[in-house]
Amino acid sequence: MTVKVDPITLDIIENALKNARSEMDGVVVRISLSPVIREQHDEFPMICDAKGRMVVGQFGSYIPAIVEKFEGDLNEGDVFVWNDPYACKGSISHNNDWCVMMPIFHQGVLVGFSSIFGHMVDVGGKVPGSMPFDARTIWEEGLRIPPVRIYDKGVLNKGVLDIMLNNTRTPDMNRADLMALIAGCRTAATRVQELCDRFGRDSYVAACDMLLDRTREAMKVLIDKYISEEPVSFTDYVDDDGLGNGPFKMTLSIYRRGDKAVFDWTGTDPQAEGPINFHIHEGLCKLFFGVYMIMAFDPSVLFNEGFYDLFEIVLPEGSLLNPRFPAALSNRLNTHTRFFDCQAGALGQRAPHLSMAAGYGTSPHFIFTGHDKNNKYFQLMELLFGGVPGRPRGDGLDGHAWWPLFSATPIEYIENYYPVLVESYRPIRDSGGPGLHRGGAGIEKIYRVLEPGKVSIHDDREVVPPWGINGGQFGGTSSKWLIKAGSEEPTRIPSKIDNLAVGAGDRIVFRTAGAGGWGDPFERDAEIVARDVRYDLVSAEQAKNGYGVVVTADERVDRHATETLRAAMRAERGAPAPFNFGFEPPLREAAE
């Protein structure tokens, strides 16, 4: 007998699950110790149905691949943990992400799963932080944990925990963060069981099916409306792999075959020698396309996995997105975020009015390690942000994360717990690409280290700028600098470097990339351009050369000069280009 769930009950269950997912976040950040999870929220929870399909969450389900390994041997009180991308079919994509999962039972019947993965600040390997810029294999990137039980029917497997903590430079942080992830999963299990008690188990299960079906039907409409049978293709580039190779081409073609949307990465470069390979799970790939289509075309649609059977993914074996074992993976975010830029560029060709430009295109990180005056080891890791793309609804965000829930580490936290002073934290002038809607600005952060130690930095978009769309111009690139104590002369350092020796008083200047602009910059309100000049986001020179706006000495608009200049610049330019990549000729030759 099929259980019918009325619309009001369905809405209550939907919002209760959303709240449970948010509560998982809250539990994790209150228990964890590392700044990456506690302050920056680098953790991703989800709640799935009994088939392992994500009903609420962000990153998509990897549950079926894990359940398959245990052949259905799931018990109440079990908690599973893993971090090896190759052992779980790319469900997580580098060793730093520890993932936990627990089956949820109601009166002895399996009704779903809760799961979270979070970034551990260190999992061993040859460098602090476990993300060596020059790794050639995954063996250099720290401890690999296949899916194992960390709790067996509620009993801690201390041997597994001891092995995990014995292979990290930060065992206290890792233990707290792991237990935080487990606590978050248990919180979700409690909330699901309460829903089953309140509405009946059969009604809860039926509601999950209905939520998935509703998303599927909505996605069918989006596919029919925005994806054509004629393929559209787009290519973008990752700067390099840390070993001197690159740029690396990523090519995406999108088309419709009947009711299905096909996303084909044929033409993407072979896997890299260095650690920028992104071993992406096919389901995760579907999820990334789905979330973009929902957010760009119809944000009212509930984000879950109901649409999976409507997508077909082509990931050529041995490519940057489907590397062969034991390819290095630790810095895959350079490729991961370029994935988003490619899908924006491809989908934007059918619906340019709904698409967005390219952003800062990676997940820049800063690691500082050493021993303090008491000879106690410290390891600071911070994720930095950059320019978020210009978009149909307005300007891109300045110095913001790709991931909506991420936040910057408070400067007070850094300075209280580590021998570091943050001297400056500000948006970079002219780094946001001009457009009707300006691209977000990159950020400049200046660290003064107070103890000798080693610094590691990983970033991208130093060579290949973030492109603009619909007439928008490209954004600014990234750069890194070292200023030795007692000097004011900066020395440029690579965007990917490990174990750079620094002394007390040295400064690191970390400048992230901006984002491309959206729409014709000559259509941007001149008063808003002048406001950006006053806010030091745009120089008077870029106001003139990028927007055709003449700003007076007191940073006001000269209207007559602006109208004259814009008319001349429009005539010289002609129709605005659909994309502006900003390639210099040597780069274009290298990329092609």
Q: Indicate the length of the chain as a whole number.
A: 592
Domain that holds residue 118: 7-213
Q: Which of these three, 457, 488, 520, is where a domain ends?
A: 520
pLDDT score, position 355: 87
User: Are the beta carbons of 380 and 368 closer than 8 angstroms?
Assistant: yes
Q: How many domains does the chain divide into?
A: 3
Query: Are residues 12 and 103 located together in one domain of the fold?
Result: yes
Percent of the chain with pLDDT over 70: 98
CA proximity to 386, closest of 411, 367, 361: 361
One domain for residues 507 and 559: no
Instruction: Look at residues 213, 237, 260 and tell me which one is the last residue of a structural domain.
Output: 213
Helix (H, G, I), strand (E, B) or coil at 275: coil
As to burial, measured by CB atoms within 10 angstroms (0-12 exposed, 13-18 middle, 19+ buried), residue 200 is middle
415 shares its domain with 545: no
Q: Is residue 329 part of a domain?
A: no
Residues 508 and 446 in one domain: yes
What span, in angstroms and rounded, lies between the C-alpha atoms of 268 and 237?
A: 10
Residue carrying the six token digits 């070993």: 243
409 within a domain of the structure (yes/no): yes
Using one digit for the tens of pLDDT, what is the confidence trace for 296-329?
A: 888 888 889 999 999 999 999 999 999 999 999 9
Sign of CA dihedral 350, 355, 360, 365: negative
- Give the Cα separation of 151 and 103 in Å (integer): 12
Q: Is the pLDDT of residue 504 over 50?
A: yes
* Digit-coded pLDDT (tens) for 162-174: 999 999 999 999 9
Decide if pLDDT at 592 tops 70.
no
512 & 535 share domain: no
Q: Per mean pLDDT, which range of 22-26, 56-60, 81-85 is the poorest? A: 56-60
Kindly state whether residue 586 falls inside one of the protein's structural domains. Answer: no
pLDDT of residue 589: 44
Q: What DSSP string describes 39-73?
A: TT--EEEEEEETTS-EEEESS---HHHHHHHTTT-
Per residue in 130-159, pLDDT (tens digit) is 999 999 999 999 999 999 999 999 999 999
Q: CA-to-CA distance for 82 and 91, rounded, in angstroms?
A: 10
On the question of pLDDT at 1 being above 50, the answer is no
Using alpha carbons, select from 83, 82, 98 the residue that is nearest to residue 37: 98
Residue 588 pLDDT:
43
Lowest mean pLDDT among 2-16, 100-114, 148-162: 2-16
pLDDT in tens, 370-415: 999 999 999 999 999 999 999 999 999 999 998 777 899 999 999 9
